[in-house]
Chain A
Amino acid sequence: MNDTVLQGVNLTKVFGWGKQKTIAVDHVNFEIRAGEVCSIVGESGSGKTTLAKMLLGLLNPTEGEIYFQGKKRDISTQRKKREYWKNIQAIFQDPYSAYNIFNKIDTLLLDCIRMRGDFWLPREKKIELMSEACSFVNLEYKELTNKYPFELSGGQMQRLMIARIFLLKPKILIADEPTSMIDACSRATILDMLMKLRDEVGMTIIFITHDIGLAYYVSDTVYIMERGKIVESGSADQVILTPHHPYTRRLISDVPKIHEAWDLSTVTYSGL
């Protein structure tokens, strides 16, 4: 298939040696098409973030290959890395960790403009771009300029991250738990914005999440990850409505429902 944007072949990441050895990602294979929305779902520690970091080129795989647009990915030099990052960007689990807290918000957004190669634009034009990006996510540039990230609320921070993506318009976006601790209402707003972006620029989105309800709602394809392995994958309807693997079934039964009864009798207390 030639519309595959990102492919992983036997991707593996091992941390540590001997008794300390953890196989965080274990021979994972996948093929993601351009414009597809997919989710990687699993419990804490199942290896989702590690996988995301390899895709982003922030961690080297121990084994296996990543293909970007049909070719083996090459990020061997800083230059090639920067070029790659024009195509693939991330929104991280903890919005505050992603930024240098000593940089003002303006710097953060100006960096995006520089990354896309528009550093030569006149100041007014840059401000116009930044204002446009802010208003896309219902923020006001006027109120943000000269502020620091820690002066924003959590929700504003998350929207600011999407404003960055709006400026960068990458081919691929990896969203690692963009919505974990935020309320359903803000989650709906953020999803709305991301989907609008996808429709506008044909972005491919990879959600990484515990939330199987979210995965079901937004994705074309769902991958279920258990202890480093992908144990089930398929269309969202297939995986969620007719799950085959026991782990997938358990994940689904662990989530509270509103139409079907939520069976608490299956709870077995285990582990410390």
Chain B
Amino acid sequence: MGKVILEVRELSTKYVTRFGENVYAVDRVSLKVEEGKSLGIAGESGCGKSTLALSLMGYYFAPLHYISGDIIIDGQNISKMHPDEVRRKILGKEIAYIPQAAMNALNPTLKIINFIEDVIHAHDPKVPKKEIHDMARQRFEELGLPAEVLQKYPVELSGGMKQRTVIATSVILSPKVLIADEPSSALDVTSQKMVIKMLKDMMEKGLVKAMIFITHELPLLYNVTDDIMVMYAGQIVEQGTAQQVVFDPLHPYSKGLMGSIIVPESGVRDVKLTAIPGAPPNLKRPPQGCRFADRCKYVQAECRVQSIYMREAANNRAYRCIFPEEQLRKVYQNE
């Protein structure tokens, strides 16, 4: 087993709304990512993927609040650190985050290079401009972005180029962990492919040591990540390798998700898509028992009684369901 770069133990966080209600969007999530590996997070919209991404940074501000659990980056536990310390010492250097609408983060009135100066000065106001310019040029070249981009304003760049610019900027300080939340979902397929190539290059060149990649596009997730975790209603419901989770899902929810994949490959037209009826539960009052129960074809009375825990399966896998692996497989086979 490789060196663990990111370890998360039982992390729980919540939103507190304007009306003082709690929304439990991340519930006792545990994960590990080893050096050189990437972990994908799948799930429908509203399942808590973005909240988990934000929570992993250890930098909480309203309405998001920390409840409990540990975040350990390369041996250093950041979950009990003061927010100011997290901002100064951790963000950008240990862990970096590309938000869902990243390209909108660029300031339209600043040239890219001046934007990068601002980003770096927010960490350390004393870095000389010359040094920043050199760093930026080097990083852009390493990632196949033309250095002339640095002298442009955002409006002069295409959507795909803006997105790659933001990504290159976010790894300028060589963070150990990169968290990418839907980094290509707003782009067309050609720009999407460029973004993905760039993320892969970053991993290969060791510019980042571990990556968490979030998207609802399953074929993309499958191609980018080593392992996949499926999230439902704030909890992890299945975890395994990308291969296992996509081609041999165990949890009924994962099974449903994988049945909705469409790709332009022969044979696809002969398979009926599965649609999971209904919607994820309200996280203000998460249901007792299995959170998927209302939508599960195989629900039993006992599913609703008490919390369902993750159970281990063969080949280092785990899933959250009352049924043993053999029984689930048997049910799936008979469908």
What is the interface of chain A, defined by CB distance below 8 A to chain B? 43-44, 138, 153-155, 181-189, 191-192, 210-217, 236-237, 240-241, 250-252, 254-260, 262, 264, 267, 269, 271-272
Contacts of B192 in A (CB 8 A): 254
Given contacts A216-B269, A256-B219, is CB(A187)–CB(B260) below 8 Å? yes
Interface residues of B in 156-199 (CB under 8 A from A): 156-159, 161, 185-186, 188-190, 192-194, 196-197
Closest A residue to B246 by CB, please name it: A258
Contacts A216-B269, A258-B265, A259-B265; is A183 near B44 (CB within 8 Å)?
A: yes
Q: Mark B248-273, 1 if CB is under 8 A from A, else 0.
A: 00000000110111111111110001
In the assembled complex, how far is the CB of residue B205 from the closest CB belonging to chain A, in whole angstroms? 14
Counting chain B CB atoms within 10 Å of each CB, the highest count among A138, A211, A251, A269 belongs to A269
Alpha-carbon distance between A210 and B189 when the two chains are bound, in angstroms: 7
Does B276 count as interface, using CB distance less than 8 angstroms? yes
Q: How far is the CB of B53 from chain A (nearest CB, A)?
A: 16
Contact (Cβ within 8 A) B45 A216: no
A257 touches B273 (CB 8 A): no
Q: Could you tell me if A264 and B276 are in contact, using CB atoms closer than 8 angstroms?
A: no
* Docked-complex contact A217 and B268, CB < 8 angstroms: yes
Q: Give the distance in Å from the alpha carbon of A169 to the alpha carbon of B12 in the complex.
A: 47
B89 contacts the other chain (Cβ, under 8 Å)? no
B264 touching A264 by the CB < 8 A rule? no
Is the pair B273, A192 in contact by a Cβ cutoff of 8 Å? yes
Judge whether A183 and B219 touch: CB under 8 Å: no
Q: Are B261 and A184 in contact (CB under 8 A)?
A: yes
Given the interface pairs A254-B190, A255-B264, A256-B219, the reply to whether A272 lies near B149 with Cβ below 8 Å is yes
The answer to whether B264 touches A181, judged by C-beta atoms less than 8 angstroms apart, is no
Q: Is B223 an interface residue (CB 8 A)?
A: yes
- Closest A residue by C-beta to B45: A183
Among B196, B256, B260, B278, contact of A264 (Cβ-Cβ < 8 Å): B196
User: Which residues of chain B come closer than 8 Å to A252, judged between CB atoms?
Assistant: 264
Complex interface residues of chain B between 56 and 83 (CB less than 8 A to chain A)? none
Number of A-B contacts (CB under 8 A): 133
The answer to whether A272 touches B146 (Cβ under 8 A) is yes
Chain B residues near A212 (CB, 8 Å)? 189, 264
Asked if B4 is at the interface (CB within 8 A of a chain A CB), the reply is: no
Shortest distance from the beta carbon of B131 to any chain A beta carbon, whole Å: 26
CB distance from B139 to the nearest CB of A (A): 15
A250 in complex: contacting residue of B149, B190, B200, B259, CB < 8 Å: B190
Judge if B20 is at the interface, Cβ distance under 8 Å. no
9 residue pairs from A and B, CB less than 8 Å apart: A213-B268, A215-B264, A216-B262, A241-B266, A251-B189, A259-B265, A267-B193, A269-B145, A272-B156
Q: How far is the CA of A211 from the CA of B173 in the complex (A)?
A: 35
| Contacts beyond the supplied A185-B216, A272-B156: 8 A-B pairs with Cβ under 8 Å | A138-B278, A182-B45, A184-B260, A216-B268, A254-B189, A257-B264, A258-B247, A272-B148
CB distance from B155 to the nearest CB of A (A): 11
Instruction: Indicate whether A272 sits within 8 Å of B158 (C-beta atoms), given known contacts A154-B45, A212-B189, A216-B269.
Output: yes
Chain B contact residues, CB within 8 Å of chain A: 43-46, 144-146, 148-149, 152, 156-159, 161, 185-186, 188-190, 192-194, 196-197, 200, 216-220, 222-223, 246-247, 256-257, 259-269, 273-279
How many whole Å from A43's CB to the nearest CB in chain B? 5
* Measured CA separation A252–B146 after assembly (Å): 27
Chain B residues near A153 (CB-CB < 8 A): 45-46
Q: Contacts A138-B278, A269-B145; is A255 near B219 (CB within 8 Å)?
A: yes
Contact of B257 among A185, A215, A264 (CB under 8 A): A185
Residue of A nearest to B201 (CB): A264
Checking B217, B277, B279 against A184 with a beta-carbon cut-off of 8 angstroms, the contacting residue is: B217
A256 touches B223 (CB 8 A): yes
A192 touches B275 (CB 8 A): yes
Q: How far is the CA of A269 from the CA of B163 in the complex (A)?
A: 13
- Residue numbers in A under 8 Å from B219 (CB-CB): 213, 255-258
> For residue B261, which residues in chain A have a CB less than 8 angstroms away from its CB?
184, 258
**Interchain nearest-CB distance for B154 vs A (Å):** 11
Q: Which residues from A are CB-within-8-Å of B217?
A: 184, 256
A184-B257, A217-B273, A269-B144 in contact; A44/B149 too (CB < 8 A)?
no
Given A186-B44, A264-B197: A256 and B188 within 8 A (CB)?
no
The answer to whether B264 and A213 have CB atoms under 8 Å apart is: yes
Residue pair A191, B273 in contact (C-beta under 8 Å): yes
Inter-subunit contact A184/B218 (CB<8 Å)? yes
| Bound Cα distance from A154 to B264, whole angstroms | 26
Chain B residues contacting A192 (CB-CB under 8 Å) are: 273, 275
Which residue in chain B gives the minimum CB-CB distance to A253?
B193
Note all chain B residues with C-beta closer than 8 A to A188: 259-260, 273-276
Minimum Cβ distance to chain B for residue A140 (Å): 12
Q: What residue in chain B is nearest A262 (Cβ atoms)? A: B223
- The smallest C-beta distance from A163 to any residue of chain B, in angstroms, reads 16
Q: Which residue of B lies closest to A270 (CB)?
A: B194
- Contact check, B262 vs A213: say whether CB atoms are below 8 A apart: yes
Q: Is the CB of A185 within 8 A of B158?
A: no
Q: Find the residue from B44, B186, B190, B200 having the highest chain A CB count within 10 A.
A: B190
